[in-house]
Amino acid sequence: MLATATIRIGCLGLCLVAAGTCAGDYTPPKTAAELGLMQGEPPPLEKRVDQSNFMQAPYNRWALQHMRELVPTREVPRGSGAPTPLEDNGQDLDDFTVPLASGRNLSVKRWLQESYTDGFLVLHRGKLVYERYFNGQTPGSHHQMFSATKSFTGTMLLMLADEGKVDLQSPVREYLPELKSSAYGDASVQQVLDMTVGVQYSEAYTDPNADIWKYGFVFGIGKAPGNYRGPLNIHDYLVTLKKRGQHGEAFHYVTPDTDVLGWIVRRVSGQNLSQFFSARIWSKLGAEHDAFYWLDHGATEMAGGGLNITLRDGARLGQMILQQGRYNGSQIVPRKVASRVLQKGDPVPFNRFYQDPWYEQIGYAYHDQWWTFNNSHKAVSAIGVHGQFIYIDPEAQVVIVKQSSHPEAESISNEVDGPQIMHAIANSLMERDSRANG
Amino acid sequence: MLATATIRIGCLGLCLVAAGTCAGDYTPPKTAAELGLMQGEPPPLEKRVDQSNFMQAPYNRWALQHMRELVPTREVPRGSGAPTPLEDNGQDLDDFTVPLASGRNLSVKRWLQESYTDGFLVLHRGKLVYERYFNGQTPGSHHQMFSATKSFTGTMLLMLADEGKVDLQSPVREYLPELKSSAYGDASVQQVLDMTVGVQYSEAYTDPNADIWKYGFVFGIGKAPGNYRGPLNIHDYLVTLKKRGQHGEAFHYVTPDTDVLGWIVRRVSGQNLSQFFSARIWSKLGAEHDAFYWLDHGATEMAGGGLNITLRDGARLGQMILQQGRYNGSQIVPRKVASRVLQKGDPVPFNRFYQDPWYEQIGYAYHDQWWTFNNSHKAVSAIGVHGQFIYIDPEAQVVIVKQSSHPEAESISNEVDGPQIMHAIANSLMERDSRANG
């Protein structure tokens, strides 16, 4: 997620995206059912969601809860244990209102509507304090997580590094000789983790010629032109990416970087990503449901954006990281790895390319495939386009999961308002708690 | 399943398909792992299974247990109840040997090998007497059922007829006006159920120009030529099928017939096929696992061949039909519908087109989307290409499920040896039983 293009449009973007906001006569966005998407047997032609349109609005409103019905997928088994209970400590945050830096006062309820939320959940000290579903989503619905996937690919790689099986300072070619002549050959694994690889690649979602769309063909997004002779699987694709500039200089958000990490995990572990994720994390978590990954044309997981999970299982993932890797009675991710994930990022390489008032205000930085914010609680988050978050606030002991189907890949609503509102919620819960104890 | 082409090749086929059989120095077929399919990260080019080759041997050896990883699919939820226990009454049938009409004596063990079995299970009086897995399959593996799917689409339609919501004597156009000008417009629903529709259509799997392959494009099988402008979803495809000859005269095996039935089920119930199958059958059965359907490019279930289930859940389906629709404490399919399914077919329309010594010997006939055999027990079966069976013997109280990945769509091994061996197993269990009681 988070290219620069749409973030730069600033307040104009806000008014365009959340139509009616400026006039005050707000109507919440239509649900997939209200839009008539996939209603009827068969649905009318213009209401069908299929492989040609599922990434675009309004079709993504249906698609992001129905990825299995659109693309090949691979199960991540939850194992056979009982789900970890999520104890209830219900509070109504609907009218909790946050003064934004933009000058607006925005209630949680209105923000969830404006940002096209499908599911939203807040854990405080591991208890479920607030949970809302929209747009037909239920506690059993799987939702596409897009780039929030990356954070867990990164975590898996850090687990292998912790075991001494991957040296983060080694160049990628040591693990993947196939990538010797690509941009990645002489990049260190750490540079790939931090997305500071010098690679010729554009991820401007609004540009139809951007490289991200060629990456898309590999995963069945859109239709490759008839004369397309390029790669249709991720391994062949990664080999084609060329170096540009120096590694380690500046943050450059490149989704295929994470597919390189996924490939290293597979190569070193001898397992596919679903097997590794299930064996090491998912089957120990007490997840309620199997997860699944979106696959390319050659049945390889999209390590950079293919994870699909339910809202509550997202909360369990976040809570496990918050608890330093210990959850459901076992140390799932080593404490050292979880502590590292929870560290603040370095704003210096991050801001070298991304000089944007909105970015600076939120204080975004990135390391090890996790986003960090320069707020007082040093929160970190997994973030995906169209409004996916697993937000972890270690100071307030809060985990917030948001699954959405925003029409825009990036939006003021999700990427700018979102971190401010989540921080305010976390802060408020922490303060109530300290008042109660004080 | 069951076109004429490959069945006609007779004994020559047997020797070709089960190489080595004639010489006596038999080597069982290689597993997907032994073939190196999808081994390594990434697998070598020639060992990759993808959308271009998964229906062909040897790639189908891996694919038929991995359909979700190759095509879009939709879950059929099992619900939340406990799985129906399958009480064990183990017997070793490995060396049980059957004298075939061809003169050969074939042991069960050898037959399972020759016919590329992935999973095989025998229930007698509801108890599990024999269960074998091959080629990496486990009790948790889903297996593609191909046309065995049809029998359950037919059963769902009969349930709606039993409720008075579908009149089997009405023409299809009454339920699907979209098909008014197609082959199906003036065919009765019963004619579609019995596959006696006069339609211009060829299902000769060995002919690369057969209509079945155009049907394939709809479901992502093979790659449509660059200049292909034909339909890519099942609704648009069915509209294009033209009438030839008269309805009701002769059996003509046409997979899209069943997709017409699936469409009627969806239109009349207002549910997609996964929802209907789950609500009416799967969630009541005490299945161990969710099932899933393979979908077309527009997210519609392949009613003619897309069901994927585990071996044991296939046994539960068969046992439910055997028990006149009553299973797991409830009447799942109405007794009247189950009794009807268990009736013998009419060999007259069946044999009008299909005059083949092998067919006649087994006594195949077809009604209501179920196969019947002219054996002394009046067994019926759901049958799918490459060796899928849910075989129900009401006289012997035996259910046999076979899931396979035979290189040929139809083979002597599965379609000719199979019914003889399954009948002999059922007969033997019945006789042992009556000796024990007598």
- Structure confidence by residue, pLDDT tens digits, B44-82: 989 999 988 999 999 999 999 999 999 999 999 999 889
Q: Do B299 and A49 touch (CB under 8 A)?
A: yes
Task: Determine whether the interchain pair B73/A69 forms a contact, defined as Cβ–Cβ distance below 8 Å.
Answer: yes
Q: Do A38 and B72 touch (CB under 8 A)?
A: no
Say if residue A370's pLDDT is above 90.
yes
Instruction: Give the per-residue pLDDT at B356.
Output: 67
Which residue among A207, A233, A265 closes a domain? A265
Considering the domain architecture, whether residues A89 and A176 belong to the same structural domain is answered as no
Provide the token pair at A214. 């060629």
| Segment B383-400, tens digit of pLDDT | 999 999 999 999 999 999
Is there a single domain that holds both residue A282 and residue A142?
yes
Q: Note the pLDDT of residue B281.
A: 98
> Smallest Cα–Cα separation from B300: which of B353, B232, B249, B201?
B232
> Domain limits at A233?
156-265
Tokens of B97: 């040997």
Calculate the average pLDDT of chain B. 90
Is residue B355 very low, low, confident or very high in pLDDT (cuts 50, 70, 90)?
low
ipTM of the complex: 0.88
pLDDT tens string A135-167:
999 999 999 999 999 999 999 999 999 999 999
Best to test chain A binding among B38, B39, B66, B69 (most A CBs inside 10 Å): B69
Confirm whether A340 is domain-assigned.
yes
pLDDT at res. B304? 97
Do strands A127-133 and A143-144 pair parallel, antiparallel, or not at all (unpaired)? unpaired
The residues of A annotated as belonging to the active site are 147
Query: pLDDT tens digits for A244-256?
Result: 999 999 899 999 9
Q: How far apart are CA B430 and CA B436, in angstroms?
A: 10
In tens, the pLDDT along B282-327 reads 999 999 999 999 999 889 999 999 999 999 999 999 999 999 999 9
Q: Please name the residue of chain A whose CA is at the shortest distance from the CA of residue B140.
A: A77
A428 and A280, same structural domain?
A: yes
Q: Half-sphere exposure (CA, 13 Å, Cβ side) for A349?
A: 18
What's the confidence (pLDDT) of residue A206?
A: 74
User: Torsion angle of alpha carbons A429, A432, A434, A435, nearest 10°?
Assistant: 170
pLDDT of residue B438: 67
Inspect the interface and report whether the beta carbons of A72 and B75 lie closer than 8 Å: no
Is A1 part of a structural domain of the chain?
Answer: no
Task: Say whether both A288 and A427 belong to one domain.
Answer: yes
Same domain, A162 and A103: no
Of B68, B71, B226, nearest to A75 by CB-CB distance is B68
End-to-end CA distance of chain B: 41
Whole-model pTM: value is 0.91
Sign for the pseudo-dihedral over CA of B382, B388, B390, B395: positive
Which residues from A are below 8 Å from B when comparing CB atoms?
A: 38, 41-42, 48-51, 66, 68-75, 226, 232-233, 235, 263, 266-267, 270, 272, 295, 297-300
For range A406-423, the mean pLDDT: 95
Residue pLDDT, tens place only, A279-330: 999 999 999 999 999 999 889 999 999 999 999 999 999 999 999 999 999 9
Most B-contacting residue of A53, A54, A69, A223 (CB-CB within 10 A), to test interface? A69
- What are A4-47's pLDDT values in tens digits? 333 222 222 333 333 334 446 899 999 999 999 999 989 998 99
Higher-pLDDT residue of B432, B228: B432
Give me the pLDDT at residue B434, please: 86
What average pLDDT does range B401-426 have in this prediction?
96
**Could you tell me if residue A2 is inside a domain?**
no
Find the distance separating the first CA and the last CA of chain A, reported in whole Å. 41
Note whether B69 contacts A70, CB cutoff 8 Å.
no
By CA distance, what is A70's nearest residue in B?
B72
Task: Examine the pLDDT at B1 and tell me if it is beyond 80.
Answer: no
pLDDT at A2 over 70: no
**DSSP symbol at B243:** B
With CB atoms and an 8 Å threshold, state whether B42 touches A298.
Answer: yes
Task: Say if residue A69 is in the same domain as residue A98.
Answer: yes
Nearest to B72 among A38, A71, A235 (CB): A71
Q: Is the pLDDT of residue B334 over 80?
A: yes
Which CA distances in Å does A272 have to A74, A265, A302, B310? Answer: 10, 8, 11, 22
Q: Is residue A367 part of a domain?
A: yes
Round the average pLDDT of chain A to a whole number and report it: 90
- pLDDT at res. B3: 38
With a pLDDT cut of 70, the percent of chain A lying above it is 92
Say which CATH number the domain at A81 has.
3.40.710.10
Domain assignment of residue A151, yes or no: no
| Identity of the residue in B38, B73, B235 whose CB atom sits nearest the CB atom of A299 | B38
C-beta atoms of A75 and B66 within 8 A: no
- The answer to whether A263 contacts B41, with C-beta atoms less than 8 Å apart, is yes
Residues A324 and A210 in one domain: no
Of B147, B278, B283, B413, the catalytic one is B147
Structure tokens that stand for B437 in this block: 């009681």
Alpha-carbon gap, residue B77 to B71, rounded angstroms: 19
Asked whether residue A261 is domain-assigned, the answer is yes
Given B41, B68, B298, which is nearest A73 (Cβ)? B68
- pLDDT tens digits, residue range B200-240? 988 777 777 778 778 988 998 877 777 778 888 999 999 99
**Torsion angle, CA of B50/B51/B52/B54, rounded to 10 degrees?**
70
* 3-class secondary structure, A159: helix
Average pLDDT, integer, range A46-52:
91
Three-state SS at B54: coil
Spell out where A226-354 has E strands: 291-294, 307-309, 326-327, 330-331
Confidence of residue B2 (pLDDT cuts 50, 70, 90): very low
pLDDT value for B16: 35
What is the tally of structural domains in chain A? 2
Q: Are residues A189 and A116 in the same domain?
A: no
Q: Beta-carbon neighbour count of residue A120 at 10 Å? A: 25
Contact A295 B38 (CB under 8 A): no
* DSSP reduced 3-state for B199: strand
Per-residue pLDDT at B52: 86
What CATH number does residue A207 fall under? 1.20.58.710
Under 8 Å between Cβ of A50 and A146: no
pLDDT (mean) for B5-17 = 31
The dihedral over CA atoms of B392, B397, B401, B407, expressed in degrees to the nearest 10, equals -60
Last residue of a domain, one of A265, A291, A321: A265
Token pair 């004597």: residue: B169
Residues A105-119: pLDDT tens digits?
999 999 999 999 999
- Minimal Cα–Cα distance from A290 to chain B, Å? 11
Task: Please list every residue in chain A whose beta carbon sits closer than 8 Å to the beta carbon of residue B50.
Answer: 232-233, 297-299
How would you classify the pairing of strands A380-384 and A388-393? antiparallel
Give B164: exposed, middle or buried? Use CB within 10 Å, 0-12, 13-18, 19+: exposed
Q: In whole angstroms, what separates CA A226 from the centre of its chain?
A: 32
Q: Which residues in chain B have their CB less than 8 angstroms from residue A223's CB?
A: none
A130-134 mean pLDDT: 98
Q: Exposed, middle or buried, B95 (CB in 10 Å: 0-12/13-18/19+)?
A: exposed
Do A428 and A294 share a domain, yes or no? yes
Looking at A242, A265, A288, the residue that finishes a domain is: A265
Residue A417 has which token pair?
Answer: 């308002």
Say if CB A82 and CB A298 are below 8 A apart: no
What pLDDT is stored for residue B418 in this prediction?
A: 97
How large is the average pLDDT for residues B252-281? 97
What is the predicted pLDDT for the residue at A361? 76
